Amino acid sequence: MARRPRQAGAVAPAVQPDLPIGSSAASHPDVVPVTPTAPPASAAPIVPADPKPAPPATVKQAGNDYRPAGLEVVDRADLVIPRIRILQAQPAQKIDTKPGVFCDRLSGELHKELTGVVPLKFTKGRVFFKDMEEGGGVLCASDDRIQPAARIEQPVQASCAGCPRSLWSAKDGKRVTPDCQETWTLLAIVHGMPYFLTFKSGAMKATKKLLTQLTLTATKERRDAFGYAFDIATELVTYPGGTTAYQPVFKNLRKIKEPEYQAHRAMYDAFAHVEPTFDEETPGGGGAGPAPAPGQSDFAFGPELPELETPGSAG
């Protein structure tokens, strides 16, 4: 039977699967013979390459199941998250320290600057200290600026809103800071360990600037707060009337690398539920170790408006 001529431009099929039985591709010019290539019998199955192995875990990392001998029964609930504070110049202090440095309240180590600080969680609150002349201590505190914390047995009133201790006042034409001052407490990774750092009074302006920059950057890049790091230094600020105080300086906000980002997520999951407390803090000291001179507490970041403030009440 005569074959119908192929139309111009027609493309021949690469494979003709249903050839007549007993015929071959050679007898059909429209068929392109394809020789299947079988893998050699010794070929090994394809296995995806292993990802880069994670660095060995250390006792500092959250989720590490290593238990030091002799501490088998100690769990996270038995531990406290230490604090870092700024030392202020105090003529009466008996400890040999240099003002303007960061002090680790747990180890006593001093640092001129904190580098690579990774924020895990910010908490806003309030704290109302009893006068040092009356023995110091916390009279009232809030962990959300809405209502007193549950640990406060006798709060000033049931709600922070309208509380007379939280209101600004004026005297002799000057503004007077509230007795119950606003605070920002940062749970952060410092040198691989979780720490609390609390900022109030004169440090609030710099803290809000950091919060603004971090929030805008993290929102734009769709990353969590612990996907960034920054450094904290100090500077000596002189207020009207000659009052001086060392204040924090936040700088070098930067994005961290992905492996560290995921490790910090584990730290966040492990510690973000821990709420800061101020029961052992006073304007003149508190916490573990000897109480420093007035103004040496975790809140010693200087007065926002120094007028009418007395040593020990400004923090």
Paired tokens of 12 = 């021949």
163, with CB counted inside 10 A (0-12, 13-18, 19+), is buried
N-terminal to C-terminal alpha carbon distance within the chain:
107
Amino acid at 45: P
Q: How confident is the model at residue 48 (pLDDT cuts 50, 70, 90)?
A: very low
Domain ranges, ordered by start, for the chain: 78-286
pLDDT tens per residue across span 183-203: 899 999 999 999 999 998 889
* Model confidence at 169: pLDDT above 60: yes
Rounded distance between C-alpha atoms, residue 185 and residue 199, angstroms: 6
Task: Kindly list the distances between the CA atom of residue 57 and the CA atoms of 75, 118, 144, in Å, as whole numbers in the listed order.
Answer: 18, 19, 35
100 Cβ contact list (under 8 Å, min separation 6): 86, 87, 88, 89, 234, 236, 246
Q: 0.75 cut: is pTM over it?
A: no
